[in-house]
A and B are shown apart, each in its own frame.
Chain A
Amino acid sequence: MTNQTNDSLIAIKGLRKAFGKQKVLDGINLQVAKGETVAVLGRSGGGKSVLLKLLIRLQTPDSGSIRIAGEEITRLEEKQLNDVRKKIGFLFQQAALYDSLTVEENVAFPLRRHTNQSAAEQKDRVHELLADVEMDQDLEKLPSQISGGMQKRVGLARALALDPEILLFDEPTAGLDPITATEIGNLILELKKKRHLSAIVVTHDVQGAKAYSDRMVLLHNGAIQAEGSLAELQRSEDGFVAQFVGYGSK
């Protein structure tokens, strides 16, 4: 079932992670090709967010290999790891905007740290990024002054600031109303077409994932239970897969 390709931008092999006695990920193998969007589905607490955090080494795996653009990140030193991290944009579940900075400053933060752009160039770039997510009207507002959906848009703009090759989305539509969730889904689809990025989207939203993903992966009991298109998952004879996709598609 695993989509093995030689040009995989992300290649995960035998990934294991446990917290105490609880095995969260138990031998995950997954490849994501350049320009491919993979949706990772699964029950709450099933290790989906942990998988994303391992990909950017916010947590360290117990064993296994993670190669990002050819670099084995599990063994990298801090400096080299940060070079890899610059190639990855991460949209957190609650957006994780810096609450003491304005919308504009949040998006400018990675630019200030990692580019030699002048203040004017940074400003232009921030406006361009915020315009892409339709948030260029609220530059001076603090994160607490905008809605959850708006925060996710700003988080997305910040994730895109360094022109990453890979985007990781942690529940991008969780907690949003259906209209805003659809808008975020459309943004992901738009980004995919416009920037040809590779992306992993952790989500519960099966219908949304169908719209923007090339492939779906269903995590269960720390392992990949099923992989393929929504139609393929729906045809699965596995009881859990059928139940999950069946509920999610309603």
Chain B
Amino acid sequence: MIYPAIFVLAAAISGSLAASRARMRLNFPKNLFTLVFEWFGELGFFCARLFRAALVPPYEFGELLRQCDEIGSKSLPLVALAGAATGVVLSLQTRDSLIRFGAKSFLPSVIVFSIIKESGPIITGLIVSGRVGAGIGAQLGSMRVTEQIDAMEASAVDPYKFLVATRVLACILMLPLLTLASDFCGIFMGWIANMLAEPISLRLFLESGFKNALFSDFIPPTLKTMVFGFIIGLVSCFQGMRTLRGTEGVGRSATSSVVLSSLFVVVADVLLVRLILTIWG
């Protein structure tokens, strides 16, 4: 957990500095502090416009469904694969450790709890922020620089309603479902990896894995990914919509969408875990 967080933080800082350097070249020199406040200020206005677009009818159900397909079903293979790999690695790593401490019988519980409480949600959040964040940032960025968003506005279509609100909402709705898929694949592949070392039926594995699990172990961590979805959708759309200066700008938007949304997902995870522990214990 700590290594991905450090990696994301380092990447975020380097990405932000790159963006800052580019802006400093273009505009009069500003310090990083001002740029950060400016960014959050613009994000606030963007958020307000997004909420207004999302709440005021008419609603874009058709486009929302299309985005759910784009963000949800097309991310499913990658998320499932990542979840499965996590399950296998967890099983292999913890098995060895637990044997050393004479606690091998806890292996199913360790795998299940690790996956449903933390690995599944955070891996899904980071994978989606990589795949979807880059996609949204690049797509909206490209539409911005080629005047397609202006053309939409000129056609009396609100791009915040049609492009932004639908993508953010689709991210919010799809993340918990993708997390479920990731959890399922992780637990299933954890069982397979365990079974290769020591045969155990799926039923027995699940029974011992979920023996002490409560709904409060499963529901809050899964639902917290809705916040991840909001962050990924919001940050990526924001970066895409404010793209400037041609293809270089599109590339920058795609990169910064991934970097910033991953960073905020990791930070939000820390805060949400603390919040969940405070509320549910």
Binding site for B on A (CB under 8 A): 53, 56, 58, 78, 82-83, 85-86, 88, 90, 92-94, 96-99, 109-110, 113-114, 158, 162
CB of B150 within 8 A of CB of A53, answer yes
A-B pairs with beta carbons under 8 Å apart, 13 shown: A53-B150, A58-B150, A58-B154, A82-B156, A83-B156, A86-B156, A96-B146, A98-B148, A99-B146, A109-B155, A110-B157, A113-B156, A158-B155
Complex interface: chain A residues within 8 A of B143 (CB): 98-99
- Scoring B143, B147, B151, B152 by chain A CB atoms within 10 A of each residue's CB, the highest score goes to B151
Residue of B nearest to A86 (CB): B156
Residue of A nearest to B162 (CB): A113
CB of B148 within 8 A of CB of A96, answer yes
Complex interface: chain B residues within 8 A of A85 (CB): 153-156
CB of B157 within 8 A of CB of A113, answer yes
Complex interface: chain A residues within 8 A of B154 (CB): 56, 58, 85, 88, 90, 92
Complex interface: chain A residues within 8 A of B151 (CB): 90, 92, 96-98, 158
Residue of A nearest to B154 (CB): A90
Q: A85 vs B159: C-alpha distance in the bound complex, in angstroms?
A: 14
Residue of A nearest to B150 (CB): A58
Shortest Cβ gap from B32 to chain A (Å): 22
CB of A114 within 8 A of CB of B148, answer no
Shortest Cβ gap from A158 to chain B (Å): 8
Q: A94 vs B158: C-alpha distance in the bound complex, in angstroms?
A: 21
Complex interface: chain B residues within 8 A of A83 (CB): 156
CB of A99 within 8 A of CB of B148, answer yes
Residue of B nearest to A112 (CB): B62
Complex interface: chain B residues within 8 A of A90 (CB): 151, 154
A110 contact from B147, B148, B155, B158, Cβ within 8 A: B155
Complex interface: chain B residues within 8 A of A94 (CB): 146-147
Complex interface: chain A residues within 8 A of B148 (CB): 96-99
Complex interface: chain A residues within 8 A of B150 (CB): 53, 58, 92, 96
Q: A78 vs B155: C-alpha distance in the bound complex, in angstroms?
A: 13
Contacts A56-B153, A92-B147, A99-B148 known; 4 new A-B pairs at CB < 8 A: A58-B150, A92-B150, A92-B151, A96-B146
Complex interface: chain B residues within 8 A of A98 (CB): 143, 148, 151-152
Query: B residues 125-166 with Cβ under 8 Å of A?
Result: 142-143, 146-148, 150-158
Residue of B nearest to A88 (CB): B154
Complex interface: chain B residues within 8 A of A88 (CB): 154
Residue of B nearest to A155 (CB): B151
CB of B156 within 8 A of CB of A96, answer no
Shortest Cβ gap from B93 to chain A (Å): 43
Q: A216 vs B209: C-alpha distance in the bound complex, in angstroms?
A: 80
Q: A90 vs B148: C-alpha distance in the bound complex, in angstroms?
A: 12
Complex interface: chain A residues within 8 A of B147 (CB): 92-94, 96
Shortest Cβ gap from B183 to chain A (Å): 33
Q: Which 8 residue pairs spanning A and B have beta carbons closest together?
A: A82-B156, A96-B151, A96-B147, A85-B156, A90-B154, A110-B155, A86-B156, A92-B147
Shortest Cβ gap from A195 to chain B (Å): 18
Query: B residues 144-192 with Cβ under 8 Å of A?
Result: 146-148, 150-158
CB of A114 within 8 A of CB of B156, answer yes
Complex interface: chain B residues within 8 A of A158 (CB): 151, 155
Q: A94 vs B143: C-alpha distance in the bound complex, in angstroms?
A: 12
Complex interface: chain A residues within 8 A of B146 (CB): 94, 96, 99
